[in-house]
Amino acid sequence: MSQLRSWVEVPDNSDYTIYNLPYGIFKTEGKKPRVGVAIGKKILDLHAVAKLGYFNKLSLPPKIFRKKYLNDFIALGKPVWSKVRQRITELLSESNTELRQCAHLVLKPQEEAILLLPVKVGDYTDFYSSIEHATNVGKMFRDPDNALLPNWKHIPVGYHGRASSVYISGTPIHRPKGQTLPPGADQPVFGPTKRLDFELEMAFIVGRETNPGQTIPIDKADDYIFGMVMFNDWSARDIQKWEYVPLGPFLGKNFASTASPWVVTMEALEPFKVNGPTQEPKVLPYLQFKGKKNYDINLEVSIHPLDGKDTVVCRTNFKYMYWNMAQQLAHHTVNGCNVKIGDMMASGTISGKEVGSYGSLLELTWSGKNPITLKDGNTRTFIEDNDVVYMRGSAKKGNIRIGFGEMCAKILPAL
């Protein structure tokens, strides 16, 4: 890729370079929600750009960018996504003067905008696709010598989550309540979770619908993915432990998930494709793929306690995932399950091989046995009230840098 520069000022190490151009939904005082693109510290108001006629040659539907969700734009299809992205790149390029004269009309400071959930999430599925994470959990709660269940290397294990409780970054989360079984007890008790945890994940957004009974072949899966966000699938470990047999997660997971506001397109992520781990034994034909399907995205998590200091507790990478997005989508639909535009498919906790790369406190503290010391001297086994959890993700290759920004949520006491 040739080197690109924008006439919009982009600070060094910004996630929102001209190579990125992620989509989001924002609103400013007195204005309705609309579609924007992040560039540096600004938001390019695509509705304003369209009103000035700069998308006229693309024959887009009227007011397509004055929407409260990206779903209608996504529904226009992959060829349109590509043409719009190409036009935005052209308009923002340093050598182009078309839009520069209207900068005051189309650029809004990010700090003055409220960012909203970028898509209307019809359904949300959470996978369990990190072999390191699954192995760690198996060692803790099952047989250390046979940590993975017999099906794990044959199917991308997943479960259906709760779309209504997927919240935008910055939305505070109240500590959930439920039944737990205290150590040594033979009867459950009710109350707030004592083992609240984060799960560092990425989620992809479905960009094309299917009909009931239709399957998505693995070699076509990429055509059905619009882009990605960071994702925190909060977990109440003690509630989950008591309830998950025989049907799996319920109240321990459905109370909240946090998504980042900017959707990074698969086109922007193309330079960061890498090979994933070798899959042994060989998977069934419908899960076999060609080419690079993993992505080299650096991720980190930090905890910021009330009146304390921000402490990074995890650094890992999305490239470690055993099951890739194409396999997840192919498996999700192989039985004829239909998908819709805006559906979110989360990766499951992303963990690496080293302790510092584990994507949950369950692993980082080994189920509470090894507390983490924060910069202010306090310790954590799990998340406490008034803690803020931050997640960040970025990718760099040569002169190309893109990122997902910063995602956060504060934990409030139970109601």
Q: Does the annotation count 133 as an active-site position?
A: yes
Cα 390 from Cα 409, distance rounded (Å):
7
Q: Where are the beta strands (DSSP E) in 218-295?
A: 225-232, 235-236, 257-259, 264-265, 273-274, 294-295
Cα 18 from Cα 8, distance rounded (Å):
9
Pairing mode, strands 124-127 and 344-346: parallel
Cα 405 from Cα 41, distance rounded (Å):
11
Cα 65 from Cα 44, distance rounded (Å):
11
Query: How many C-beta neighbours within 10 Å does residue 369 have?
Result: 8
Contact 26, 115 (CB under 8 A): yes
Q: Which of 47, 104, 133, 154 is catalytic?
A: 133
Name the residue type at position 209.
E
What is the CB-side half-sphere exposure of residue 31 using CA atoms within 13 A?
Answer: 20
Question: Dihedrals φ, ψ of 314, to 5°?
Answer: -150, 135
Q: Which residues are catalytic?
A: 133
